[in-house]
Amino acid sequence: MPVTAKLSRKFYERFGDDLTNELVEWFNQVDATYRSDLRDLNELNFARFDAKLEQRISELRGEIHAGLARLEGGLIGRIGMAESRLLRLTIVLWLSTLGALALIKL
Position 39 in a domain: yes
pLDDT tens-digit map of 69-87: 999 999 999 999 999 999 9
Q: 14 pLDDT band (50/70/90 cuts)?
A: confident
Position 3 in a domain: no
pLDDT tens-digit map of 38-72: 999 999 999 999 999 999 999 999 999 999 999 99
Q: Do residues 7 and 20 touch, judged by C-beta distance below 8 A?
A: yes
pTM beyond 0.85: the answer is no
Cα 17 to the center of its chain, rounded Å: 56
Position 85 in a domain: no
Query: CA-CA distance, 84 to 73, in Å (whole number)?
Result: 17
Q: Do residues 41 and 69 touch, judged by C-beta distance below 8 A?
A: no
Count of domains in the chain?
A: 1
Note down the domain range covering 35.
9-79
Position 53 in a domain: yes
Position 106 in a domain: no
